[in-house]
Amino acid sequence: MASGTALIYDDEMTSHKLLWDDPACNIEVPERLLTTYEQLKLYHLVDRCVRVPVREGTEEEIMLVHSSEYLEVVQSTQAMTEEELQRVSENYDAVYFHPSTYHCAKLAVGATLQLVDSVMSGKVCNGIALVRPPGHHSQRNAANGFCVFNNVAIAAQYAKKRYGLQRILIVDWDVHHGQGIQYIFEEDPSVLYFSWHRYEHQQFWPLLRESDYDAVGQGKGKGFNINVPWNKVGMGNSDYLAAFFHVLLPVAFEFVPELILVSSGYDSGIGDPEGHMDATPECFAHLTHFLMQLADGRLCAVLEGGYHLKSLSESVCMTVKALLRDPLPQISGEMAPCLSAVESIQNVRAAHIPYWKCLMYEEETPIEDVSTKSQQMMEAQLVQTSAHSTVEQAAGTTNTDEAIKTDKFLESHMKRILFPMPPVKTAAAVISKADAHLLPVSVQVENEMNEQELKALVSRFDAELVGEEKVIVSLQKMVAVLDKILMKAVCNGIVESSVASVSTTVALKHCFDSGLQRVLCIIVGDMDLEIDLDDGKLLLMNICQKQQTEETNSKYRISLNWKEGAERNTSFYAVLGIILPVAYSYQPDLIIIVIGPNRSLGENGISLLISLLKGLAESRILVVVQDTEIKLLQTVATALTGVSTPDFGVYAPASQESVLEIKQLRRQLKKEWKMLQCSVRD
Ligand code: Q9C
Ligand code: ZN
């Protein structure tokens, strides 16, 4: 797999600007790029990326999406007077032209294609293009909503043509509906378009009926257009995560994209004057991290909207940090989607049941969302109601007051969540010295802890645990790695143990002794732990093959029966449907993953589990492996370092039995772990 992150930026794209007074357009300013680039420099992210130059997109490339008539109109604006420019602009909704617009719009297209080429050629693994003017509203024959050429749509057509791609995923997390992209690919099953957007029952721009959840695509493209309409403002981190867990990610894993293009608008972030949403910058790092598990990591993010300068620039920086595979900050806020978000999610899932196997056993029906609709209609012209009701704008505050409030909030918020990166990413302690050489080179091999120290440490909780020689050796290895994680000298680690259950028990006790408040322990395979769990400091999940005798689940002890055939890649269904939502609801400080005997997940499943959970707990993960196959150790070590992503091969739908098991668990636990909610019923 390729490595490295491309950054494409050129300040020439700041010359496109509004020359007259137009309140509908005055937020799309050159400072959007300048401020963002400055912030990237401040965080030293520019130095860590691969600089790729921009170029102009060619006429031929532009005509992959746009008509020659429209191209001529845009060309003609180069030589116009201000008055003429204003007149052309008026032909479109929320658009302005400047004499440099044509040049900049060609650079925006070319920058996007340079990014696609860098990723597809393997020069880098992923990247971001910071461009203006944006693209996702623009259509075959029309500019629209600040957009002149549809950069991302052109990139998708280009990638299909130049690289023969058959499946491209476009994720549009901008707060507006990229109706331009929807129109272009409506009938095209090779491009899966996902967009969430402020909708408010069609009361929000662009005010289109076809932005609703029931626009699923047309003809052969049915099922390949996914709209998540937000019917309230104030949607935040948990709402966005829920849409990923329960709509986008399962479908995307089933789709198996070869390339991901992100219409990366940040007006869906906190403080945006257009979006009025509430997602904080680190949310975008988590969204990016999820998408990096698909398409062998080939991801191209292309700037769309984002009009609060600080929110925009911090969010772009968080996206770049995720692309660079830095450990992510913990996501903030209460992890519970609001009712209106769950309604939207339920409706999209219901609308897509006929098209996706991962939804086929759902009996979801669209609901007439009474909780928002009637209310919305009455309040249409009054104060906006907001999803989580904490971000309502107080009467009498102005937009500038709001913007300054967000500036101040973000200033302290970023200080709170950012943390120094441990100098080493992954440490390992294996039993056979020979095995150490077979691990990825970046893995730091640890020596065991001194025996006296170990005995002193363990005797604090249970002297009897330390008996035979092999137990001592396993514990010495485990503590050596765990201590480094706790001291933040390494991020994560892997230890081999011939007595995984004892190693895990000691590891947990050592964690609590060190003052950790929430430890998530996931046991893959058949294994029992002798440990009390009532105070919420430990959440234990067991994925095992053996059928549980009776109803044994409780909030902090969850067991999931899962059987996976050797050649069937179905585990993502369990990981996305249960494990990830519960883990995000819990927000652990550290994660212990134990791979025991008789394991119920294949290597791909284990790899996916580790890769996805790395977004939590600042990547503090200890993996305890009972199995001593070197292949498994390599898989785990590779997932921890993040040097490659699992290859799922052919998707197999989970058996009806497994799906029902998951649904049952979800119903049982969704009151306790709110990120499990994807339907408003029972
Ligand atoms: N009364 C992007 O974020 N608002 N475009 C128009 C008309 C237009 C947003 C309001 C918002 C366009 C790329
Ligand atoms: Zn937007």
How is 245-268 classified by DSSP, letter by letter? IIIIHHHHHHH--SEEEEEE--TT
Give the burial class of 419: count Cβ atoms within 10 A of its Cβ; 0-12 exposed, 13-18 middle, 19 or more buried. exposed
Most confident residue range from 94-98, 367-371, 653-657: 94-98
C-alpha dist (Å) from residue 272 to 191, 238, 275, 277, 311: 29, 18, 5, 7, 7
From 150, 274, 277, 307, the mutation candidate for ligand 1 (largest count of ligand atoms within 8 A of CB) is 274
Give tens-digit pLDDT for 16-40: 999 999 999 999 999 999 999 999 9
CA–centroid distance, residue 177 to ligand 2 (Å):
7
Residue 553: what pLDDT?
87
From 131, 137, 177, 203, the mutation candidate for ligand 1 (largest count of ligand atoms within 8 A of CB) is 137
Report the C-alpha gap between 213 and 348 in whole angstroms.
5
CA–centroid distance, residue 105 to ligand 1 (Å):
17
Report the C-alpha gap between 408 and 506 in whole angstroms.
43
What is the arithmetic mean of pLDDT over 183-197? 98
pLDDT at 566 over 90: no
Report the C-alpha gap between 658 and 513 in whole angstroms.
38
Name which residue sits closest to atom 9 of ligand 1, judged by CA: 145
- Band (pLDDT 50/70/90 cuts) for residue 396 is low
Residue position matching structure tokens 């007595």: 499
Active site residues: 137
Ligand nearest 24 Cα, by number? 1
CA–centroid distance, residue 264 to ligand 1 (Å):
15
CB within 8 Å of 518: residues ≥ 6 apart: 536, 537, 539, 586, 587, 588, 589
pLDDT at 205 over 80: yes
Of 27, 46, 22, 26, nearest to 36 (Cα)? 46
Q: Name which residue leads in pLDDT, 206 or 533.
A: 206
pLDDT at 632 over 70: yes
Report the C-alpha gap between 188 and 219 in whole angstroms.
8
CB within 8 Å of 170: residues ≥ 6 apart: 152, 153, 156, 181, 185, 191, 192, 193, 194, 260, 261, 262, 263
Instruction: Report the amino acid identity of residue 482.
Output: L
DSSP string, 42-103: HTT-TTTSEE----PPPHHHHTTTS-HHHHHHHHHGGG--HHHHHHHHTTSBS----TTHHH
Residue 374: what pLDDT?
60
Report the C-alpha gap between 201 and 667 in whole angstroms.
28
Residue position matching structure tokens 């309604």: 343
CA–centroid distance, residue 169 to ligand 1 (Å):
24
Report the C-alpha gap between 302 and 107 in whole angstroms.
13
- Please state the pTM of the whole predicted model: 0.96
- Which amino acids bring their CB within 6 angstroms of ligand 1? 24, 94, 134, 137, 145-147, 174, 176, 205, 265, 267, 274, 304-305
Helix axes 101-120, 151-163, angle to 10 degrees: 40
Residue 155: what pLDDT?
99
Percent of the chain scored above 90 by pLDDT? 75
Give tens-digit pLDDT for 462-512: 767 677 788 888 999 999 999 999 999 999 999 999 899 999 999 999 999
Domains and CATH numbers, the chain: 5-417 (3.40.800.20), 424-546+588-646 (3.40.800.20)
pLDDT at 607 over 90: yes
Residue 455: what pLDDT?
83
Neighbours of 202 (CB within 10 A): 15
Instruction: Report the amino acid identity of residue 116.
Output: V
pLDDT at 259 over 80: yes
Ligand nearest 303 Cα, by number? 1
Name which residue sits closest to atom 3 of ligand 1, judged by CA: 305
CA–centroid distance, residue 60 to ligand 2 (Å):
27
Name which residue sits closest to atom 7 of ligand 1, judged by CA: 24
CA 129 to centroid of chain Cα atoms = 18
Report the C-alpha gap between 545 and 336 in whole angstroms.
30
Half-sphere exposure (CA, 13 Å, Cβ side) for 645?
22
Ligand nearest 94 Cα, by number? 1
pLDDT at 168 over 90: yes
Name which residue sits closest to atom 2 of ligand 1, judged by CA: 305
Report the C-alpha gap between 502 and 509 in whole angstroms.
11
Residue 526: what pLDDT?
87
What is the arithmetic mean of pLDDT over 3-7? 96
What value, to the nearest 5°, has the Cα angle with vertex 515 and ends 512 and 517?
75
Report the C-alpha gap between 240 and 270 in whole angstroms.
12
